[in-house]
Amino acid sequence: MKLLAKAFSALALALAVGGSALAQEYVKGEVIKVDAKQKKLTIKHEPLTNLDMPAMTMVFVVAEQGMLDKVKTGQAIEFTADR
């Protein structure tokens, strides 16, 4: 089962840009690590065209804590990412 997350925000170096998650395309990825205490997921993902980023593995902060209860390591997901 795939998790459809409407908004994930990229962690690290304060990426901040406006834009609607509804206007974005979903990106496929695989959950590599879940850090519930920090509200973070490490995801190996396809290119994030809206952020002009190639495919890679990176850490994301989850927009809603409840999303972490629905995902586990190794799970295939579809998500959007905002700066």
Q: What's the pLDDT tens digit per position in 9-65? A: 333 222 333 344 455 689 999 999 999 999 999 999 999 999 999 999 999 999 888
Q: Which residues pair with 5 in a beta bridge?
A: 79
* Residue 20 maps to a domain: no
Pairing between β-strand 76-82 and β-strand 4-10 as defined by DSSP bridges: parallel
- Specify the CATH number for the domain of residue 78: 2.40.50.320
Say what the pTM is.
0.70
Q: How many domains is the chain partitioned into structurally?
A: 1
Q: Between vectors from CA 16 to CA 10 and to CA 20, what angle results, nearest 5°?
A: 85
Q: Does 45 reside within a domain?
A: yes
Q: How many beta carbons lie within 10 A of that of residue 48, not counting itself? A: 22
